[in-house]
Amino acid sequence: EAQVTQNPRYLITVTGKKLTVTCSQNMNHEYMSWYRQDPGLGLRQIYYSMNVEVTDKGDVPEGYKVSRKEKRNFPLILESPSPNQTSLYFCASSLSWRGHTEAFFGQGTRLTVV
């Protein structure tokens, strides 16, 4: 089954403790991205990747890192999480970065930083 898989689905952590949220897709998609969703603010893009070893900032990149060493994986790294990063996070992928193709989303990771 074609899908985008995120792990973990739920995570509670303490301020400053490094964490990684994994994202994997099995559709051989070129383009992958991370979003956060907050009440009243909607979905905002954090980082995106057009292909292996090609990443760039979205609208809200501060406090986050990403890497794209393999085509299927695009982990989101919070080196020193803070409470304002408490949010619902989504990973997405699409076949091409050229913008003509459908975006598929993971089931989300609900992160709470205390």
Residue 67 or 101: which CB sits closer to other proteins?
101
Residue 17 or 21: which CB sits closer to other proteins?
21
Residues 6+ apart with CB under 8 A from 67: 55, 74, 75, 77
Residue 39 or 69: which CB sits closer to other proteins?
39
Residues that bind other proteins (CB under 8 A): 31, 33, 40-43, 45, 48, 50, 58-59, 88, 90, 92, 97-108, 110
Report in angstroms how near the CB of residue 91 gets to other proteins at its nearest: 9
Alpha-carbon dihedral of residues 51, 52, 56, 59, nearest 10 degrees? 70
Report in angstroms how near the CB of residue 94 gets to other proteins at its nearest: 9
Q: Which residues of 22-52 are buried (b: 16+ CB within 10 A; e: fewer)?
A: ebbbeeebbbbbbbbeeeeeeeebbbbbbee
Report in angstroms how near the CB of residue 21 gets to other proteins at its nearest: 14
